Amino acid sequence: MRLDLESLKDIKVWEKAGIALPEFNLAAVREQTHRQPTWLHLGAGNIFRAFPAAVLQQMLDKGEYDTGLVVAECFDGDIIERAYTPYDSLSILSVLKSDGSVENKVIASVVEALRCDGECPEDDARLQEILTKKSLQMVSMTITEKGYAIMDPAGNSLSFIERDIDAPPQFAKTTIGKLTAGLYARFQQGGAPIALVSMDNCSHNGDKLRAAVLYFAEGWREGGYVSKEFIQYLLDPKRVAFPISMIDKITPRPDENVAAMLKEIGFEYASPFVTRKGTYTAAYVNAEETEYLVVEDCFPAGRPPLEKAGIYFVDRETVDKAEKMKVCTCLNPLHTALAVLGCLLSHTKISEEMQDEDLNKLVHRIAYQEAMPVVVDPGFLSPADFAQEVLEKRFPNPFMPDTPQRIATDTSQKLSIRFGETLKAYDASEKLNPKDLRCIPFVLASWLRYLMAINDELEDFTPSADPMLDEMQSKLSFLKIGATVKEEELTEVLEREDIFGIDLVKLGLAPIITSYLNEMLQGEHAVRKALQKLLAE
């Protein structure tokens, strides 16, 4: 069973395999999209295919929309070359449900896939052409939080960003650089309105995108490449909007067990692969069934009616509350706790960790006892119900091949939001005292122990990628198994607001974090013993 437009004509083969086919007229949608694209997406990774592309397919199948998606990948072009082009931009979505069933469907809402990493000049030209189309209403993106970075942790502009800014816009190589160059071309051709929608899992993602675009534009203005009127165009929310959003859907790397299942039912190209830049992908994507996308309803050129497919469009304040509820209380901090301790305790699946009585108790305590007292309630979603779904249904799902090692990626970039906002709320409260916290400081101490790259059996392991890994390991190189650390030795690290979101020394948490870390350093299985001691209190 092949995956291409021609093979979809053999409906009986797909029905026999139990893989649902698109119900809309593919040829008509592809023609309409090529002539008048309305939605461009940057970032061709797994979350895009599992969520935005799948949501649009629902609307196309119901006849509620007639235009598909164009996707461009500006960083890792091998994704397009190997996961899109051979399959006519089609993919298989395997939804792994908590009851053990799997729902397979062909996603065909992506009608054009562009490789814009410099290897295909014609695709770069097509991207710029699309960005000038008056029909284009929105550009969304999933490029990870690192994709918006302008400065390094020390506050210096990144060298590859400066290279883009030092050259004319048409020579931009970065994703944000290419986007901003396209916006300049759009401005030059009349300045049609547009919305730029970050769908990345980071706080105030739209603000991060806006700041990055303006950084490029201001740099080019100073270099004489663009006019001040272009800056004014970008600053006018009635012409260029940067909505914030909250996205929630767990989409792990393509799993070998899912591949085996697809091969068993006759799919020929199920084997996952890793690109030269380290992206794990395949012709299929596996994901959980639960999904949320809450978007600030700010679209000066209009938008597809995605609310008909379950997307929430609300005001900015409500998005902010929903994002804080998820990222600071009900999901992300629990994920990070499981990630760090999962690596230390040699777990390889999040679902297995939820069968670990100690870790299960820990994340329940973080959610309900420590974070929930300062949770931000968005109003349309119940924080308690959301957390219950996470802890009782989503994380324990044994069919979700998500790993603590994947979640542990870039932990230094996540702690300030996932725990820092709760710590700030405690600090600002007249009724709550941050010194009464126990589980959150334990997780922060666990991260320091994790940076040693030695698990609880005293075996070496490879920490997940993190832009601050080398720096933090260097600063904590004095940590040794069996040793006792003095509080002042950790001061330089614990006062880092850029990592923790707040100065932990001034907050008064340095003594308890030091104490927990020392417990974890006392030989084999010390992390487990420290965790059990904490839970017995």
CA angle 362, 365, 371 (to 5 degrees): 125
Torsion of CA 205, 248, 69, 24, to 10 degrees: -160
- Residue 186 pLDDT: 98
Q: Is the Cα dihedral 149, 151, 153, 159 positive or negative?
A: positive
Residues 6 or more apart from 281 whose CB is under 8 A from it? Answer: 45, 46, 79, 82, 83, 253, 254, 272, 273, 275
**Which residue in the block uniquely carries the two structure tokens 């940590």?**
479
Q: What is the DSSP string of 186-205?
A: HHHTT---EEEEE-SSSTTH
How many CA atoms, within 13 angstroms, populate the side-chain half-sphere of residue 530? 28
**Which residue in the block uniquely carries the two structure tokens 């070998």?**
256
Q: Letter for the amino acid at 268?
A: E
Structure tokens at 311: 């997307």
- Residue 297 pLDDT: 98
- Residue 203 pLDDT: 81
Measure CA of the first residue to CA of the last residue in the chain; give whole Å. 57
Residues 6 or more apart from 125 whose CB is under 8 A from it? Answer: none
Global confidence as pTM: 0.87
DSSP strand pairing (138-141 vs 39-42):
parallel
- Residue 152 pLDDT: 83
Tell me how many helices (H) and strands (E) the chain has: 26, 15
Question: Tens of pLDDT along the chain (537 residues)?
Answer: 899 999 999 999 999 999 999 999 999 999 999 999 999 999 999 999 999 999 999 999 999 999 999 999 999 999 999 999 999 999 999 999 988 899 999 999 999 999 999 999 999 999 999 999 999 999 999 999 889 999 986 788 999 999 999 999 999 999 999 999 999 999 999 999 999 999 998 888 999 999 999 999 999 999 999 999 999 999 999 999 999 999 999 999 999 999 999 999 999 888 999 999 999 999 999 999 999 999 999 999 999 999 999 999 999 999 999 999 998 999 999 999 999 999 999 999 999 999 999 999 999 999 999 999 999 999 999 999 999 999 999 999 988 989 999 999 999 999 998 999 999 999 999 999 999 999 999 999 999 999 999 999 999 999 999 989 999 999 999 999 999 999 999 999 999 999 999 999 999 999 999 999 999 999 999 999 999 999 999
CA distances to 42, 90, 371 from 426, in Å: 38, 48, 9
3-state secondary structure 425-494: HHHHCCCCCHHHCCHHHHHHHHHHHHCCCECCCCCECCCCCCCCHHHHHHHCCCCCCCCCCCHHHHHHHH
Q: Is the Cα dihedral 480, 483, 488, 494 positive or negative?
A: positive
Helix (H, G, I), strand (E, B) or coil at 102: strand
CA angle 98, 104, 110 (to 5 degrees): 120
CA distances to 13, 74, 341, 354 from 357, in Å: 45, 43, 13, 7
What's 99's DSSP letter?
T
How many CA atoms, within 13 angstroms, populate the side-chain half-sphere of residue 486? 2
3-state secondary structure 34-54: HHCCCEEEECCCHHHHHCHHH
Tell me the pLDDT tens digit for each residue of 293-322: 999 999 999 999 999 999 999 999 999 999
- Residue 280 pLDDT: 92
Cβ pair 441, 415 in contact under 8 A: no
Residues 6 or more apart from 93 whose CB is under 8 A from it? Answer: 49, 50, 54, 104, 105, 106, 107, 284, 285, 287
DSSP strand pairing (91-96 vs 284-288):
parallel
Instruction: For residue 153, give the nearest of 472, 392, 513 by alpha carbon.
Output: 472
